[in-house]
């Protein structure tokens, strides 16, 4: 009897493992395939959109030193601004405590690079990519945006945007070396599975919405 139970358990374990692996593969393939037509590496080829959405990350690494993901996203947003590919920038990120403020850090970095303060809008409730993208529409009233992040992140963000009725393109910031960004890439694999569940099964919404903010 114990042998039969063990056999049944092993079968279910293998089936579950196979299903999980298939879900990971399909989720990653679908997001990569869908988004490829909407992503740009060359600023000269980027179509004009009034508003750019910069997805937040910490300015500094936990072990110390500047976070290259942050720096490269700022670089990319400035490139769009200086090449007249956008007029306004929404910086969206985590402001969960008074000691951690991604949007304000991004705003200051952009202003140091010559972007007018009047052209920058802060979204303090971009706790995750879905929140940032959906709030660009629901709070800031934008149905066409250019999203700025690294390519792997833009793929997911653009997918979310189109599934939420936003005509989004992505401008890919410079990526970080594979060794330095290994943990981030691993997290991204599972983040894509979560997106599929959030969008197509759970119908997840942003943690917070709130009052509308008008961008002229």
Radius of gyration of the chain from its Cα atoms, rounded to whole angstroms = 19
pTM here? Answer: 0.90
For the stretch 89-131, pLDDT in tens is 999 999 877 788 999 999 999 999 999 999 999 999 999 999 9
Q: What percentage of the chain's residues is helix, strand, coil (to nearest 5)?
A: 50, 15, 30
Whether 64 has a pLDDT exceeding 90, the answer reads no
Cβ pair 126, 92 in contact under 8 A: yes
What is Dmax (Cα atoms) for the chain? 74
Q: What does the alpha-carbon distance between residue 174 and residue 180 come to, in Å, rounded to a whole number? A: 13
Q: What is the C-alpha to C-alpha distance for residues 216 and 200, in angstroms, rounded to an integer?
A: 33
Rounded CA gap, 79 and 40, in Å? 13
Higher pLDDT, residue 126 or 23: 126
For residue 180, give the 3-state DSSP assignment: coil
For residue 214, what pLDDT band results from cuts at 50, 70 and 90? very high
What residue ranges define each of the domains in the chain, with the CATH number in brackets? Answer: 2-202 (3.40.50.620)
């Amino acid at each position: 009897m114990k042998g039969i139970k063990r056999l049944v358990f092993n079968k279910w374990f293998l089936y579950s493992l196979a299903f999980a692996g298939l879900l990971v593969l399909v989720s990653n393939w679908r997001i990569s395939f869908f988004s490829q037509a909407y992503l740009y590496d060359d600023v000269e080829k980027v179509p004009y959109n009034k508003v750019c959405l910069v997805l937040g990350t910490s300015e500094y690494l936990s072990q110390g030193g500047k976070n290259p993901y942050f720096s490269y996203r700022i670089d990319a947003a400035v490139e769009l601004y200086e090449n007249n590919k956008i007029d306004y920038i929404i910086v969206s990120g985590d402001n969960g405590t008074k000691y951690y403020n991604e949007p304000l850090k991004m705003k200051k970095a952009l202003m140091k690079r010559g972007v007018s303060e009047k052209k920058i809008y802060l979204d303090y409730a971009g706790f995750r990519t879905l929140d940032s993208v959906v709030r660009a529409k629901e709070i800031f009233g934008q149905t066409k945006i250019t999203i700025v992040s690294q390519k792997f992140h833009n793929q997911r963000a653009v997918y979310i945007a189109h599934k939420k009725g936003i005509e989004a393109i992505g401008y890919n910031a410079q990526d970080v070396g594979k060794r330095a960004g290994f943990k981030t890439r691993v997290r991204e694999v599972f983040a894509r599975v979560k997106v599929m569940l959030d969008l197509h099964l759970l119908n997840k919404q942003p943690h917070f919405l709130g009052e509308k903010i008008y961008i002229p």
